[in-house]
Structure 1
Amino acid sequence: MRMLRWSAGVTLLDKVRNIHIRGSYKIAPIIDKVKERRLRWYGHVLRRPEDHMVRAALSIPTTARGAGRRPATWLTTVQKDLKEIGIDNTVAQNREQWKMQTRRADPR
């Protein structure tokens, strides 16, 4: 964000919100970019053959954990992202459709 402010000629003393600066440069929030990349990788893994090492790693069960809130795993985070977008795993086999439904970060 500092680089965008510098290129826009805006300082923190000008009291311009980050969302306005990102909007003027048409740059998505970093959270959206991270979700997009995570789902892109997940689609890549799902298109692998069943016997591939990376695809087999998805089915490894997690170990039992102690009491308290369970830490989020990568797979649970991806499932939450998929639920938020409203798509399921079967779309990943069609690469073009997967790309169109998961690429939401760039506001162009």
Structure 2
Amino acid sequence: MPRKLKVKLYSTIIRPVLLYEAEVWTMGKEQERILETTEMRMLRRIKGVTLRERERSTDIRRELGVSDINEKVKEIRMRWYGHVKRREEGHPAKEAMESIVPGRRPRGRPNKRWRENVEDMSHFGVRPEETVERETWRRKTRAADPARRDQQP
């Protein structure tokens, strides 16, 4: 099977399955590492190289035209955030996103909240007020897909 077809199958079938409902995930470093490891095992297999050949992941991704899966998760999360922020007032999803649960959190290091993952918008250089302009928001937050980057005006 040609490599281009393998990459196309990976991008259209396997990756969406890996990222199912990624917009609501709260990922820690361990989950990010597991996701990236899984992706790189598949991409190395597509390219036909082993870990012993010590080829950099960035070089493999660039050659196959695939972006980092963790960047894609951030993009998906930002797309969902913009979608919910544009909803009308009183919509259940918007109320749930903007609600603050009363009470104290348990002792120890708290788990990351979804809002803490999303509010790091400096990665994309956007502000919450920009969600109103849908096209601008999508253009600024769609940075993780090399194939689309070439098609943008």
For Structure 1 versus Structure 2, the TM-score category normalised by the shorter chain is 0.7 to 0.9
Which letter maps to 1:4?
L
Among residues 83, 88, 109, which one is paired with 1:49 in the alignment?
88
Structure 1 residue 43, shift from structure 2 partner: 0.5
Structure 1 residue 67, shift from structure 2 partner: 4.0
Task: Establish whether residue 10 from structure 1 lines up as the match of residue 49 from structure 2.
Answer: yes
Cα distance change, pair 69–8 in 1 and its aligned pair in 2 (3 A): same
Cα distance per residue 1:1-55 (max 9 Å; x no partner): 2222122121122221211111101211111001000000001101111110000
SS, match of residue 27 in structure 1? coil
The equivalent residue for 1:90 is 129
Measure, in 1, the Cα distance between the counterparts of 2:106 and 2:144.
36
Larger RCO (CA under 8 A, 6+ residues apart):
1
The equivalent residue for 2:99 is 60
Cα distance per residue 1:61-103 (max 9 Å; x no partner): 13321344332210111001x1332211111111100001111
Measure, in 2, the Cα distance between the counterparts of 1:45 and 1:66.
28
Aligned length: 107
In structure 1, runs of 5+ residues without a counterpart are none
SS, match of residue 58 in structure 1? helix
Q: TM-score, normalised by structure 2?
A: 0.64
Structure 1 residue 59, shift from structure 2 partner: 2.3
Q: TM-score, normalised by structure 1?
A: 0.88
Measure, in 1, the Cα distance between the counterparts of 2:64 and 2:124.
25
Task: Establish whether residue 103 from structure 1 lines up as the match of residue 142 from structure 2.
Answer: yes
Paired-residue identity, %: 41
RMSD, matched Cα: 1.5
Runs of 4+ in 1 over 3 A off after TM superposition: 66-70
The equivalent residue for 2:19 is none
Measure, in 2, the Cα distance between the counterparts of 1:32 and 1:5.
19
